[in-house]
Amino acid sequence: MELCALEYLQHAKNLLAFSAGSDSSALFFALVERNIPFDLAIVDYGLRPQSKEEVAYARKLADRYEKRIYIHETHIKPPRFEEKARKERYRFFESIIHAHGYDNLITAHQLNDQFEWLLMRMAKGAGVVEMVGMDVVSQREGYRLVRPMLYVPKERIYAYLHEHNIRYFEDSTNYDETIERNFIRHNFSDPFVKRFAPGLIKSLHYLHEDKRLLVHHIAAIEELHYAPNPHDSYAIKRIFDRMAKRLGYLLSTKQKEEILRQGAGVVAGRLAFAVTKHTIFMAPFVQTKLPKSEREKLRRLKIPPPLRGYVATKRLEERVGTLLKQNLS
């Protein structure tokens, strides 16, 4: 089974998001085969009796292959279970990453997931950037998200599991078609991938290349992201959307409209943003009490107020001030 982006993983400290399902179980053994170092993180939502067996299986694998394992138990209730579960899951992963210094978070997203995402975004109305939002490697706040199986069809994963007699669990909720994702998966994405996988893989590679050419360049100083101001409301919203994703947050349509309306401020209590004449910025929001001399220095350098806490905390005043001066903001 062919994996992508192994060069990012070979000499790094890696954390595998594990569920004991078919995809993460296959990825576990594929990484072991290639001597990729990694530890495990698993979330038990406590909704199914089987979840205890899945955690026990994860513990057994961690013990057998001498991996460190992190387990998080939580209880999430409807409505919007999928959304809440995803946020809780990534909060857990990121807390481990930041506490223990992991370089990469590895997830088991595969080709069917990628195409499923494209169809879901298309159903809601989206452009190329949103429809091919899953990248093999993407930068997040303080770590990389790596998806080595992103171009591996689900059928190939099952074949690998059966060839190597690997145990895995099937989540019964994956067959509930009242859940939008499952409806699209069983009726559209899975049958399509099964029949047209080679052509789909080529098309997705082309789409990702088109996305790379279309998107505006975003640079960063530490976690302060910035890009030229395109002076186009649609383009500005798309740039802020990409910046927020790099910082580990998905902006809603309403939030993007509010960012555009305000021009400078804080969104979701965690992201500071600003639009200047020539540049747009986004950074983690830091609220701190600054001495008068520091406040005056930040004001003199014309650093937008919402960014000042982060800039001062990271001691980036001169670098950001120079950037603003160069751009005549």
> Is residue 251 in a domain?
yes
> Does residue 266 carry a pLDDT above 60?
yes
What are the φ and ψ backbone dihedral angles of 18, each rounded to 5 degrees? -115, 140
Confidence of residue 235 (pLDDT cuts 50, 70, 90): confident
Q: Which domain holds residue 312?
A: 219-326
Q: pTM above the 0.75 mark?
A: no
Last residue of a domain, one of 183, 210, 237: 210
Of 35-39, 127-131, 243-247, 320-324, the one with minimum mean pLDDT is: 127-131
Confidence of residue 329 (pLDDT cuts 50, 70, 90): very low
Confidence of residue 221 (pLDDT cuts 50, 70, 90): very high
- Give residue-wise pLDDT tens across range 169-210: 998 888 889 889 999 999 999 999 999 999 999 999 999 988
Give me the chain's average pLDDT, please. Answer: 93
Which of 43-52, 72-81, 155-164 has the highest average model confidence (pLDDT)? 155-164
Last residue of a domain, one of 210, 235, 252: 210
Strand partners, 267: 271
Look at the chain and report how many structural domains it folds into. 2
Contacts 24+ apart (CB under 8 A), 28-34: 28/61, 29/164, 29/166, 30/1, 30/3, 30/148, 30/149, 30/160, 31/3, 31/106, 31/148, 32/65, 34/3, 34/6
How confident is the model at residue 46, as a pLDDT?
84
> Is residue 1 in a domain?
no
* Residues 106 and 241 placed together within one structural domain of the fold: no
